[in-house]
Amino acid sequence: MLLLVAPSGGERVNKSASVGRFWSTGKDEGDLLTWKNSAAHDLTDKSIQDEEETQTDGGFSSLDGMLQWAIGNSDPEKLKEAALDIQHLTPEDLMQRQLEVKELMEKLKMPSDAELMKISIADLNNLSLSFEDRHRALQELLVLVEPVDNANDLHKLGGLTAVVKELDDQNTEIRTIAAWVLGKASQNNPFVQNQILELGALLRLIEMTYSNVTEEATKALYAISALIRNNQKGQELFYKHDGSMMLQFFLSHPSIDIRLLRKSVFLLADLVESQLDGRNDVDPSFFSDSNLLKSVVDLMSSADLDLQEKALHAVKNLLLLPYTDALVFKEICKLDAALDKMKQQLLQFLLDDNLKEYAHDVQNLRIEVESLFIAKLDERNKVFS
């Protein structure tokens, strides 16, 4: 006879993405194993997490594993009494006890992340399910694709195809979270980036950035940035699908949502960096366009400190390009005036303990940009003197 005591929360830790969540599904509750201690999904627009979690399956891997745990956590005297009692059991009773132990083992075992992803994907492919069930399935995938191993498995489980399909859904909330899932799965992951590009999702994401629903446009731009970052094929497709026009549109409209401006400037700086590294060859007229350059310099005066810093970083990269004209930065963009205005603002920030560290870092970057600007002007004057 085997005495089994369920392990306490502190004794066994499951490090998969599914830990601590009560998993919902469009299927009947009796078809799935669920567990307590649910944690609410935080779906606010937070910064992207880079920390990867180790994936392990929950529960005991075998009856032997359960037996070893039970022996190590049982009272020796009670085990001795149980051993004496079991001698009086019939073969039928022993068989029944074995079945009970096996059933208990199955109840204690939690679904793996792969099993949970299969459930969510099946729900997305089930056309009879409600909007709420499909929305919930996408929310679950959003959490599950954070570990890189899960993201790598998503396509072979049919998940990427199912999520890309949702980009064409009539409901903006479904489209928004589908774009979010694609961005989360492809972040710093060339393997998944290429899979999504092959499914043709980039063009649709670019179209979604023009949505009059800000959240949809923001998540689509986030997905684009994650999808093409450090990916030559992705950047080539971006230019082919007029992604440069999309960036010019956002950067020339400073009154649009601040999140779109931040993501646009960040993406621009990243694309210029690819040019500097020789990872991509694009028409120089895009990055040297005076209207584009002026739009970025103007954002250095934004009231949003994060946007200011991102714009300054983008200007630095643009100055490093050999074909941008220093005179355009001076005469049209008024970069010298923008740098001086920022200097005065940062001097005030240095007096504020809450902003001192930020001001010090940005001031160093501002000085670097000013030095690049002066050097570029001097070089131009030498050429035309």
Q: What is the mean pLDDT of residues 360-381?
A: 94
Q: What angle do CA 166, 23, 177 make, to 5 degrees?
A: 25
Task: pLDDT band for 2, please (50, 70, 90 cuts).
Answer: very low
**Tens digits of residue pLDDT in 102-128:** 777 677 777 888 999 999 999 999 989
pTM for the predicted model, two decimal places: 0.73
Q: What is the mean pLDDT of residues 232-260?
A: 94
**Tens digits of residue pLDDT in 71-81:** 666 677 776 77
| Residue 298 pLDDT > 80 | yes
Highest-pLDDT range among 1-15, 34-48, 279-293, 367-381? 367-381
Grouping H, G, I as helix, E, B as strand and the rest as coil, residue 241 is coil
- Residue 61 is predicted with a pLDDT of 52
Written as one string, the DSSP assignment of 70-132 is HHHTS-HHHHHHHHHHHTT--HHHHHHHHHHHHHHHHHHPPPPHHHHHHHHHHHHH-TTS-HH
- Residue 70 is predicted with a pLDDT of 67
Q: Find all residues with CB under 8 Å of 281, minimum gap 6, and list them.
A: none
| Residue 30 pLDDT > 60 | no
DSSP state of 353: T
- Residue 78 is predicted with a pLDDT of 73
| Helix residue ranges per DSSP H, 126-251 | 131-144, 148-154, 159-165, 172-186, 190-198, 201-208, 214-228, 232-240, 243-251
Taking residue 356's Cβ as centre, other Cβ atoms within 10 Å add up to 12
**Tens digits of residue pLDDT in 333-358:** 999 999 999 999 999 998 999 999 99
- Residue 20 is predicted with a pLDDT of 41
Residue 227's nearest CA partner among 208, 252, 213, 212 is 208
**224 or 379, higher pLDDT:** 224
Percent of the chain with pLDDT over 70: 77
- Residue 368 is predicted with a pLDDT of 97
- Residue 13 is predicted with a pLDDT of 39
Task: pLDDT band for 384, please (50, 70, 90 cuts).
Answer: confident
Q: What is the mean pLDDT of residues 279-291?
A: 82
**Tens digits of residue pLDDT in 168-225:** 999 999 999 999 999 999 999 999 999 999 999 999 999 999 999 999 999 999 999 9
